[in-house]
């Protein structure tokens, strides 16, 4: 799929922007025009007018999505573009992050789509950074979930990586995650685990448990990862001691920034936070236009 396959904290480049992302950009611009034209710009801006657009962060945050914004501009024939920071950079309020020169009408048409991507993805990266800082000094990693905006999963998970977090599975086919409803359907934790292992012997299996008793039940099965759902830090510490490093443990559910350090201190390997993608506030990024006389 291009630049958004799971990986480390590595910024994308325009040459690697996926076709799926280009399709998103085209749909966003088409949505803005709704089959017509930008009536305000056509009425007020000469067709040959040229300007420079200055993109700046109005609040402190971690930047993500610069190349999506650049691809948006390039799709409208704006090619004189400077990226002044990199995805993953923590910038102060007032920092200019990108500059683009081209036909004024084209810049104005690209403006909202470019800012929507930048603000949304930078907001995710910024919130992820806050969570990562909350557990700094421990071995615990912050991970996302599949609670992503439909159609934007790859972009949003990319933004998580730019904030210093890690990605959980990208899709239902990437690995197995046995949750409470699967356990209910199968009749037991053991039954669900054994069914997946028989059907897909080579796939990684994560299993969700709600109690220490459920955790004891699966000790003999050797899952790759166990999700400790809605357990307290004390229960997580008990689980860590019980598992004794035989597989990875992930805490999820009911965890706040205030309690993150306590969960990390329990010794779990991961903390899964759905809010990284479903509740991140947009980072305020603005565009100021400077017309050429």
**Active-site hit among 89, 166, 229, 269:** 229
Residue-wise pLDDT for 111-121, tens only, equals 999 999 999 99
Given a cut of 80, whether residue 288 has pLDDT beyond it is yes
Residue 88, CA distances (Å) to 57, 69, 153, 239 in order: 14, 15, 18, 34
Q: Is 153 a catalytic residue?
A: no
Residue 134, CA distances (Å) to 87, 181, 256, 282 in order: 21, 32, 10, 20
117 domain residue, yes or no: yes
**Judgement on whether residues 102 and 214 belong to the same structural domain of the protein:** no
- Residue 198 is part of which domain span? 134-278
Q: Is 112 a catalytic residue?
A: yes
**Judgement on whether residues 110 and 240 belong to the same structural domain of the protein:** no
Given a cut of 50, whether residue 138 has pLDDT beyond it is yes
pTM for this one? 0.93
**Judgement on whether residues 153 and 263 belong to the same structural domain of the protein:** yes
Q: Is 166 a catalytic residue?
A: no
**Active-site hit among 112, 146, 248, 261:** 112
94 domain residue, yes or no: yes
226 domain residue, yes or no: yes
Q: Is 198 a catalytic residue?
A: no
Residue-wise pLDDT for 168-226, tens only, equals 999 999 999 999 899 889 988 888 888 999 999 999 999 999 999 989 988 888 899 99
Q: Is 208 a catalytic residue?
A: yes
**Judgement on whether residues 111 and 181 belong to the same structural domain of the protein:** no
**Judgement on whether residues 140 and 24 belong to the same structural domain of the protein:** no
Kindly report the CATH number assigned to the domain that includes residue 111: 3.90.1170.20
**Judgement on whether residues 269 and 218 belong to the same structural domain of the protein:** yes
**Judgement on whether residues 111 and 163 belong to the same structural domain of the protein:** no
Distance, in Å, from the CA atom of 270 to the CA atom of 165, rounded to the nearest integer, reads: 10
**Active-site hit among 9, 99, 146, 147:** 147
**Total number of domains in the chain:** 2
Distance, in Å, from the CA atom of 33 to the CA atom of 25, rounded to the nearest integer, reads: 13
């Amino acid at each position: 799929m291009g630049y958004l396959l799971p990986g480390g904290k590595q910024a994308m480049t325009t040459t690697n922007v996926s076709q799926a992302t280009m399709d998103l950009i085209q749909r966003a611009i088409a949505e803005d025009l709704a089959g017509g034209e930008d009536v305000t710009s056509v009425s007020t801006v000469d067709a040959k007018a040229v300007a420079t657009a200055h993109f700046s962060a109005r609040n402190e945050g971690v930047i993500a999505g610069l190349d999506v914004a650049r691809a948006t501009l390039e799709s409208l024939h704006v090619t004189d573009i400077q990226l002044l920071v990199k995805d993953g950079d923590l910038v102060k309020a007032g920092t200019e992050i990108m500059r683009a020169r081209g036909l004024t009408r084209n810049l104005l048409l690209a403006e909202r789509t470019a800012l929507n991507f930048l603000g949304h993805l930078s907001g995710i990266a910024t919130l992820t950074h806050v969570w990562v800082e909350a557990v700094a000094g421990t071995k615990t990693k912050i991970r996302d979930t599949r609670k992503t905006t439909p159609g934007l999963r790859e972009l949003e998970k990319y933004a998580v990586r730019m904030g210093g977090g890690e990605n959980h599975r990208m899709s239902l086919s990437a690995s197995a995650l046995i949750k409470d409803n699967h356990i209910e359907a199968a009749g037991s934790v053991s039954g669900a685990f054994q069914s997946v292992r028989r059907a897909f012997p080579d796939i990684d299996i994560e299993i969700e448990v709600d109690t220490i008793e459920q955790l004891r039940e699966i000790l003999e099965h050797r899952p790759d990862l166990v999700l400790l759902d809605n357990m307290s830090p004390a229960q997580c510490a008990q689980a860590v001691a019980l598992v004794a490093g035989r597989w990875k443990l992930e805490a999820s559910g009911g965890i706040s920034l205030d309690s993150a350090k306590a969960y990390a201190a329990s010794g779990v390997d991961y903390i899964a936070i759905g809010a990284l993608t479903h509740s991140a506030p947009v980072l305020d990024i603005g565009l100021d236009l400077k017309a050429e006389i």
